[in-house]
Amino acid sequence: MPPPCPTLCRLPAANLGLPWSRPSIATPRLALAARRSRAVAARASSSSPDSSFGSRMEDSVKKTLADNPVVIYSKSWCSYSMEVKGLFKRIGVEPHVIELDHLGAQGPQLQKVLERLTGQSTVPNVFIGGKHIGGCTDTVKLHRKGDLVTMLTELDIKVNSS
């Protein structure tokens, strides 16, 4: 008969080649402790620096959209971004442009936040009056229908429609 476990379970050691039996997780007291520590871990991860960083970034996007009537999240090298910036330039509207590739490590994080908010993972990501318009193709289509100028005019933004 192996000696009893001196500290935890006081049961004879099972024949596992160990000096003392490992307490089974099914032991009610230990199972309860395991559940408690999982709950603590879950609470800790939900308030981790990453998630609060994400929500601060989300707040900063919302502030940017509230403060600027036309916002383009762009990448400086992206031809679609260049096209949409060119379109606004042609109609004489100066958008607030955020070049994600100029933000270092925050760029990809901001892109993830934008994806969470809009469902769109690509740039350019265009907003007018806080409303999500879409990418380059969506903005060009809106312009061809005449709706881009209408939206801008409704926001009291002067448009050069020549």
Ligand X SMILES: N[C@@H](CCC(=O)N[C@@H](CS)C(=O)NCC(=O)O)C(=O)O
Binding site for ligand X (CB under 6 A): 75, 78-80, 122-124, 135-137
DSSP β-ladder status, 70-74 and 96-99: parallel
CB of 79 to ligand X, least distance (A): 6
Residue 128 CB, shortest distance to ligand X, in Å, is 15
Residue 113: Cβ within 10 Å count = 21
Please give the Cα distance from 106 to 64 (Å, whole number). Answer: 15
Residue 69 or 135: the one with the smaller Cβ distance to ligand X is 135
Using CB positions, name the residue nearest to ligand X. Answer: 135
Residue 131: phi and psi, rounded to 5, are: -95, 135
Minimum Å distance from CB 53 to ligand X? Answer: 20
Q: Coil, strand, or helix at residue 128?
A: strand
Q: Which is nearer to ligand X, 17 or 144 (CB)?
A: 144
